[in-house]
Amino acid sequence: MSVRVRFAPSPTGPLHIGGVRTALYNYLYAKKLGGDFILRIEDTDQNRLVPGAEAYIIEALKWVGIEPNEGVGFGDGKYAPYRQSDRKDSYRQYAEQLIQNDYAYYAFDTESDLEALKAKYPNFKYDASTRLEGKNSITLSAAEVAQRLANNDPYVIRIKLPEEEHVHFQDEIRGNVMVSTTQMDDKVLLKSDGMPTYHLANVCDDYIMKITHVIRGEEWLPSAPLHVLLYRYLGWENAMPKFAHLPLLLKPDGNGKLSKRDGDRLGFPVFPLEWTDPVTKEISSGYKQGGYLPNAVLNMLAFLGWNPGTAQEIFTKEELVNAFSLDHIHKAGAKFDFEKAKWFNAEYIKNLSNEQLAVLVKPIVTQKFGVQEEHYLIKAVGLVKERLVFLNDIEHFAYLFTSIAQYDTTALSKITAIQQQFPKQAFETFIQEQAFTDASSLEHAIKDFATANALKIGDVMKFLRTSLVGELSGPVISDLMILLGKDEVLKRVQNCLQQQ
RNA sequence: GGCCCGUUCGUCUAGGGGUUAGGACAGGAGAUUUUCAUUCUUCAAACAGGGGUUCGAUUCCCCUACGGGCUACCA
């Protein structure tokens, strides 16, 4: 039987990187085994829907490059629709089937009924020991139940758990997990608005869509036994998928799982794409807009909770697919490491060819400094490639594209001293005489000029650097001179000579 | 509170009854470079604690502590 996994987010907001990682692990697992990766939208809570969230999820998956081959936004497929609200009518029959088989019951308790029970019993939960106090099809007469249903009285359908039974299941990451039904409660399966809860919908859809492996976050571990029971009661136990509960992504500081707020609080994105809250208009930064490369993000995310068991850390997507396996997933939660994320991105940028980098950086450069000639841009980015952590960092290298607007004051003060005995005229002539064909002969010529004029090489370099860069750091001077060309170099030198 | 899951350098992690406990990021030092960045070399840095089991436990078991998750007609 071929492997089928699903990523099943709820469109209650933008997908954050924890979700992206879950999607990634599903994707890697499916691809590794030649299976299918499905996107299912779990929008059974109509009150929490956020406009744009679904589209965001789809865009985000596209951007990082882990596209489902089936599901909402990806051409659908054999088991469409993949949006649970579009499958609303399919769930009721299963809930009713459960009632038929005495595995579930109608419950008519109102909100205030429930509150009264909670007030009466500390730590109240609706279960075998308390359901006799509720207004449900167990306590009410058949006639009254029929009457209430006929009246369209609001009701929910609850699972009827056995009083005491140990539910075991095998988690692919954690091994055997056991929970007693005494610790569980009669969870609502079908809500009074006719929508299923997560528990019902997820089990039904996974069964119907022939999902073989449920790979999801650890927050689902406590409800997994409930799902196991549901498979059993629905008669699907032999088709039950395997479960793998992933460790959570934690805040880099302090406690708790990584949340939306942490990113902008600590200075890194938690969302793949920038997101504007439709209500508050608050903007949350995104990896894409922050100048990250999708494959770097994937690589970084893959290593937060998984490792290949070797020393290799830089992996292409294909290599990740090949190396991936569930048993190399770490059990404990992982704190997000921003420094490591930056390192991954810088590594990926360094591994790009100048041509590739130029393409990626072109929109930023054009927007900041105007249109550049293609070959020039390629050479320019090559000069600063190993200085970029993010694509956006290119904007800190204005001197590659425009003349120096402002000189660094310490650089200027450093060269003032030098300028006293600097043979300005001779130097200009010297530059004019150079061929500007290759960097090393140019560098030799500069050194020769320095010795011939009894100047310190370092001083001449410092002067040139300030002229060309505006400050005392940057790429090798002769390389930069070749890039800029004689005319521009001369212009900048003359301009710098006029400073002070 | 109850239940479930977890705990190796600051962080991500490898390992697993007998190891100098390995790697990466970050940090320190040095080399290269006209500068900065890159690169290279190098240093520092960990098995939460207590009991067992064992000739021997970081590794297996139990307890404690700590961390995380769940505990909704949210997913």
ipTM given for this complex? 0.95
Eight-class DSSP state of A166: E
Q: For strands A36-39 and A70-71, give the pairing.
A: parallel
Which tokens in the block code for residue A152?
């369209």
Which nucleotide has the least CA–C1' distance to A217? B69
- Structural domains of chain A, with CATH: 4-71+201-250 (3.40.50.620), 92-190 (3.90.800.10), 260-350 (1.10.1160.10), 353-398 (1.10.8), 403-500 (1.10.10.350)
The residues of A between 397 and 456 with beta carbon within 7 Å of nucleic strand B are none
**Which residue is listed with tokens 């006639």?**
A143
Q: Which residue is closest to B26 in terms of CA–C1' distance?
A: A339
pLDDT score for A415: 79
Q: Which residue is closest to B1 in terms of CA–C1' distance?
A: A123
Which tokens in the block code for residue A132?
């006799």
Alpha-helical (H) ranges within A193-256 are 198-208, 224-233
What residue ranges in A4-135 does DSSP mark as E strands? 4-7, 36-39, 70-71, 104-107
Q: For strands A4-7 and A36-39, give the pairing.
A: parallel
Contact A213, A5 (CB under 8 A): yes
Does the CB of A109 sit below 7 A from strand B?
Answer: yes
Report d(CA A370, CA A377) in Å as an integer: 11
Taking CA atoms, A231 is separated from A96, A123, A416, in Å, by 15, 28, 81
Q: Straight-line distance from CA A333 to C1' B45, in Å?
A: 22
What values do phi and psi take at A402, rounded to 5? -140, 165
Does the CB of A343 sit below 7 A from strand B?
Answer: yes
Contact A70, A77 (CB under 8 A): yes
Which nucleotide has the least CA–C1' distance to A465? B35
Judge residue A310's burial from the number of C-beta atoms within 10 Å of its C-beta, 0-12 exposed, 13-18 middle, 19 or more buried.
exposed
Q: Taking the CB of residue A294, how many other CB atoms lie within 10 A of it?
A: 17
Catalytic annotation, residues of A: 260
The residues of A between 56 and 95 with beta carbon within 7 Å of nucleic strand B are none
The residues of A between 28 and 47 with beta carbon within 7 Å of nucleic strand B are 42, 44-45
Contact A169, A222 (CB under 8 A): no
Q: Straight-line distance from CA A184 to C1' B3, in Å?
A: 9
Q: Which residue is closest to B24 in terms of CA–C1' distance?
A: A313
Judge residue A46's burial from the number of C-beta atoms within 10 Å of its C-beta, 0-12 exposed, 13-18 middle, 19 or more buried.
exposed
**Which residue is listed with tokens 């790009």?**
A352
Crossing angle of helices A457-469/A486-497, nearest 10°?
A: 100
Among A434, A435, A421, which residue's Cα sits nearest to residue A463?
A: A421
Does the CB of A255 sit below 7 A from strand B?
Answer: yes
The pLDDT profile of chain A, 500 residues, written as one tens digit per residue, is 799 999 999 999 999 999 999 999 999 999 999 999 999 999 999 999 999 999 999 999 999 999 999 999 998 889 999 999 999 999 999 999 999 999 999 999 999 999 999 998 888 999 999 999 999 999 999 999 999 999 999 999 999 999 999 999 999 999 999 999 999 999 999 999 999 999 999 999 999 999 999 999 999 999 999 999 999 999 999 999 999 999 999 999 867 889 888 888 888 999 999 999 999 999 999 999 999 999 999 999 999 999 999 999 999 999 999 999 999 999 999 999 999 999 999 999 999 999 999 999 999 999 999 999 999 999 999 999 999 999 999 999 999 999 998 888 888 888 777 777 788 889 999 999 998 989 999 999 999 999 999 888 988 999 999 999 999 999 999 999 999 999 999 999 999 888 75
pTM of the model: 0.95
pLDDT score for A65: 98
**Which residue is listed with tokens 């770097």?**
A296
Contact A439, A476 (CB under 8 A): yes
Does the CB of A175 sit below 7 A from strand B?
Answer: yes
Q: Which residue is closest to B6 in terms of CA–C1' distance?
A: A332
Judge residue A421's burial from the number of C-beta atoms within 10 Å of its C-beta, 0-12 exposed, 13-18 middle, 19 or more buried.
exposed
Q: Straight-line distance from CA A375 to C1' B32, in Å?
A: 30
Which of strand B's nucleotides are less than 7 A from any protein C-beta? 1-8, 10-15, 23-26, 33-39, 67-75
Is the link from the previous residue into A81 a cis peptide, with omega within 30 of 0? Answer: yes
Does the CB of A223 sit below 7 A from strand B?
Answer: yes
Q: Straight-line distance from CA A419 to C1' B46, in Å?
A: 55
Eight-class DSSP state of A125: -
Amino acid code (one letter) for A128: A
